[in-house]
Amino acid sequence: MANKLLGIDLGGTTIKFGILTLEGEVQEKWAIETNILEEGKHIVPDIIASIKHRLELYGLTKEDFVGIGMGSPGAVDRQLKTVTGAYNLNWSKTQEVGSVIEKEIGIPFAIDNDANVAALGERWVGAGNNHSDVVFMTLGTGVGGGIITDGKLIHGVAGAGGEIGHMIVEPTNGFLCTCGSHGCLETVASATGVVRVARQLAEAYEGDSKIKLALDNGEEVTSKDVFVAAEAGDGFANSIVEKVSFYLGLATANISNILNPDSIVIGGGVSAAGEFLRARIEKYFETFTFPQVRQSTKIKMAELGNDAGIIGAGSLASQLMEK
Amino acid sequence: MANKLLGIDLGGTTIKFGILTLEGEVQEKWAIETNILEEGKHIVPDIIASIKHRLELYGLTKEDFVGIGMGSPGAVDRQLKTVTGAYNLNWSKTQEVGSVIEKEIGIPFAIDNDANVAALGERWVGAGNNHSDVVFMTLGTGVGGGIITDGKLIHGVAGAGGEIGHMIVEPTNGFLCTCGSHGCLETVASATGVVRVARQLAEAYEGDSKIKLALDNGEEVTSKDVFVAAEAGDGFANSIVEKVSFYLGLATANISNILNPDSIVIGGGVSAAGEFLRARIEKYFETFTFPQVRQSTKIKMAELGNDAGIIGAGSLASQLMEK
C-alpha cells in the first residue's frame, strides 16, 4: 500500500533526499553532490540512480510511494514538470525532469520552486502548525518566499506569486535590485542587503564600532557579523539591525494587512539571528498593522532548518494523492 | 429547476436587489430605502417582505433559486450569517440575518462584506473577465478591497483579508488613519484622502490654481474637483493626482509583486476619474513591479458601476451550488 512520500531538495551544491510518512515524519534521508559539469546533464540521471539504489537498499518498491516531490532553484514549469532555467545548476535550456523521473522510477512526480517548497514544509510540520494560511519568507543570498492560502500555494498568472523579495520597501532613493527596480526588500534584507545597509549607515556614523572599523578597513563583513555585534552591544551594528528590521516589519505588515495569514514564518541564513531579529521585526510589524491583523497574525522563525526542503517536497508529493 | 440567483446589496441609504441567471446576467432589479431607525430593526423584515412581494410579482418560487447572496457593510460572520456590527445601519449589536431570511424565504443564504462581494462581481462579469486571480480595490469614502485567488476570496485568519486600504504606503511621516496606524493607503487615496494630499501640497505650491485658491479660501473641494481640474491642465491639481497615483501605483505593485494576479480592478467613486487616473497609476505600477509581473498583471478600471454589489452577491449565491 502506498504510504510513503519521497522528497527531493535540488540545490547548487547538494541534492538532498528524504523518505517521509504521510504525516511528514522523515524516516530516511541522504544527500549526494550536485554535479553541474557539462551543462548539468548528469543531475537528473544522478537523481534517478540514487533513488533506485536507496529503494533497493531499504527494500522499498514504487508501490510504497504516493509520489515524488521536488523543489528546484530557477524557473519551473509545474505543468510540464520541467526546469526552464537555473543558473546555479548550469541549466541554461529547459530540462526535462518530471517526465524522465516518472518513466524511470514509475512514481508520480510534482515540482515547484525551492522557496515555494520550503514554504510547504514549514507550513506542514514546521512553524506554520499545519494552518491553512501561512506565508514563508526566506532571507538568504536573495529574499524569496511562498504564500499559502486555503492550504494551497499562490502561483499567480505568470508563476511570479510569492516573490516577496521584490516588494518595494524604499520607493524613493532605494538601492538598485537585480530585477531592475529600486528599493526591493531583497536589496536591504538579504545577506548582502544587510551589509549594503551597513555601508550606507557607516558614512554618517560617528563612534566606536568593530563593524564600522572593519568596513572602513575594507575587511569582509557578513550579515552574521552584524547581528552578533549588535547582540553584543555594538551601537552601530544595532542601528543596522534596526533599519533592516524596519524594512522587514513594513513588508511583513503589508503582506498581513492584505492577507491576514495565521503566521509569517521567516527562514534562511539571515534568520539564524533568531529571537533577537524576530522581536525587532515584530516591533515594526506592530507599528504598521491595523488592530485586527496585529492581534491575529504572528511573526515566527522557521523551525525545520536544512530539512525544510525535503519535507516541503514531501508535502508537494502528498498533494498528488488528492488528484 | 433552480436556475436563478438572488443578489442583495445592503447599503446605508438603499438596499438593492437583483435576480440573476447562473451566468451573471441581471434579469430583474429593484431597490428599497434602508430604514435605519430604531437600531435598524426594520432592515431584515423589510428585505424579507420585499423579496416575498417580488417573487409573487414575477411568478417565481423558492424552487427557482440556487441561493441568496448578500453584501453588507460592517463586520460579517460568514459562518453564522450574521452582521456583528455596522454603524451606518445603526446595527451596534450582532444581527441575525441569514437564519431569519433562510427561515422566512426558504432559500439557502450566504453573506460577506460589501467590498469582498463587489470584488466577486467585478471578477465574474466585470473587468476581471472571470479570471481565477483578481484583486479588487474600491476608492470611496474609505479604501476597501477583495482578493480572489484560485476563484475564492481570501478572508484570512481573523476575517481581515483584503483590507488593501490599510497597506502602509508612507511609513515615515504618514497621516494618521482611523485604524490607528500612520501612512495607510486610505489616508491618501480615498475621497477625503485625495483632498488631504491637496491640502498638504498646497502649502508649498506657488502659482495659479483654481484648486489651491479654493482650498486657501476655505471652500469645499472634492476629489472630483481635483481630477477635473488636473485633466483641464491645472498644474497644482496635476501634482495632487501625481502623488495619489504614486501611492496607488506603489500599493498595486506591491500587491502584484507578491500575488501576481491577472488584474487589479479599481472601482469606487474616485475611480470615476477613469483612464486619466488609470494611466497614471499604471505608470507607477510599472516603476515598482519586476519584469514578470509588469508583463502579466494588468491595471483596470471597474466596469459594473452600481450593479457590482448585486452581481457580486449573485456570484456569492452561486457558490452555494458547489456545496
Would you place residue B1 in the very low, low, confident or very high pLDDT band (cuts 50, 70, 90)?
confident
A161, A253, A289: residue with CB nearest B259: A161
Say whether residue A152 is in contact with chain B using an 8 A CB cutoff: yes
Tell me what pLDDT residue A87 has: 85
Radius of gyration of chain B (CA): 21
In angstroms, the CA B146 to CA A221 distance is: 44
Predicted confidence (pLDDT) at residue A258 exceeds the cutoff of 90? yes
Would you place residue A321 in the very low, low, confident or very high pLDDT band (cuts 50, 70, 90)?
confident
Q: DSSP alpha helices (H): ranges in A20-113?
A: 37-40, 43-58, 98-105
Q: CB–CB of B181 and A262 under 8 A?
A: no
Give the H/E segment covering residue A258: helix A235-259
- For A102-152, the pLDDT digits (tens) are 999 999 999 999 999 999 999 999 999 999 999 999 999 899 999 999 999
Tell me what pLDDT residue A285 has: 98
How far apart are the CA of A223 and the nearest CA of chain B, in angstroms?
A: 24
In angstroms, the CA A302 to CA A138 distance is: 9
Chain B, 107 to 136: residues with Cβ < 8 Å from chain A are 131, 133
Contact A136, A154 (CB under 8 A): no
Say whether residue B149 is in contact with chain A using an 8 A CB cutoff: yes
- For A177-203, the pLDDT digits (tens) are 999 999 999 999 999 999 999 999 999
Instruction: Give B29: exposed, middle or buried? Use CB within 10 Å, 0-12, 13-18, 19+.
Output: middle
Q: Which of B289, B290, B294 to mutate to test the interface with A (most CBs of A within 10 A)?
A: B290
Say whether residue A158 is in contact with chain B using an 8 A CB cutoff: yes
Tell me what pLDDT residue A28 has: 97
- Mean pLDDT across chain A: 95
Tell me what pLDDT residue A323 has: 56
How far apart are the CA of B46 and the nearest CA of chain A, in angstroms?
A: 32
Q: CB–CB of B259 and A147 under 8 A?
A: yes
| Proportion of chain A above pLDDT 70, given as a percent | 99
CA B169 to chain centre: 19
Q: CB–CB of B160 and A287 under 8 A?
A: no
Say whether residue A22 is in contact with chain B using an 8 A CB cutoff: no
CB pairs under 8 A between A and B: 155
Give the H/E segment covering residue A278: helix A274-288
- Mean pLDDT across chain B: 95
Say whether residue B159 is in contact with chain A using an 8 A CB cutoff: yes
In angstroms, the CA B266 to CA B280 distance is: 13
**SS3 call for A229:** helix
Query: What nine digits make up the cell of B64?
Result: 427557482
- For B8-63, the pLDDT digits (tens) are 999 999 999 999 999 999 999 999 999 999 999 999 999 999 999 999 999 999 99
> Does pTM surpass 0.90?
yes
In angstroms, the CA A35 to CA A12 distance is: 9
Tell me what pLDDT residue B88 has: 86
CA A130 to chain centre: 17
Q: Which of A134, A257, A285, A287 to mutate to test the interface with B (most CBs of B within 10 A)?
A: A257
Q: CB–CB of A260 and B181 under 8 A?
A: no
Q: CB–CB of B180 and A154 under 8 A?
A: no
Q: CB–CB of A160 and B255 under 8 A?
A: no
What are the backbone dihedrals phi and psi of residue B313, each rounded to the nearest 5 degrees, phi first?
A: -65, -35
Query: What nine digits make up the cell of A58?
Result: 531499504
B-chain CB neighbours of A162 within 8 Å are 258
pLDDT greater at residue A314 or residue B323: A314
Task: Report the complex ipTM.
Answer: 0.93
Say whether residue B178 is in contact with chain A using an 8 A CB cutoff: no
How confident is the model over A280-294, as a mean pLDDT? 97
Residue keyed to cell 547582540: A231
Contact A26, A19 (CB under 8 A): yes
Query: What nine digits make up the cell of A123?
Result: 507550513
Predicted confidence (pLDDT) at residue B323 exceeds the cutoff of 70? no
Q: CB–CB of B168 and A261 under 8 A?
A: no
Closest chain A residue to the Cα of B258, Cα to Cα: A162
CA distances from B165 to A206, B160, B190, B318 (A): 40, 11, 9, 28
- For A293-302, the pLDDT digits (tens) are 999 999 999 9
A-chain CB neighbours of B179 within 8 Å are 290-291
What are the backbone dihedrals phi and psi of residue A165, each rounded to the nearest 5 degrees, phi first?
A: -60, -20
Say whether residue A160 is in contact with chain B using an 8 A CB cutoff: yes
Tell me what pLDDT residue A266 has: 97
Say whether residue A74 is in contact with chain B using an 8 A CB cutoff: no
Tell me what pLDDT residue B87 has: 85
Phi-psi category of A106—alpha, beta or left, where left has phi over 0 and alpha has psi -120 to 50?
Answer: left
Would you place residue A68 in the very low, low, confident or very high pLDDT band (cuts 50, 70, 90)?
very high
Residues 6 or more apart whose CB falls under 8 angstroms from that of A306 comprise A16
Chain B, 190 to 249: residues with Cβ < 8 Å from chain A are 246
Say whether residue A273 is in contact with chain B using an 8 A CB cutoff: no
Predicted confidence (pLDDT) at residue B109 exceeds the cutoff of 80? yes
A-chain CB neighbours of B163 within 8 Å are 257-258, 260, 290, 292-293
Query: What nine digits make up the cell of B255?
Result: 500587491
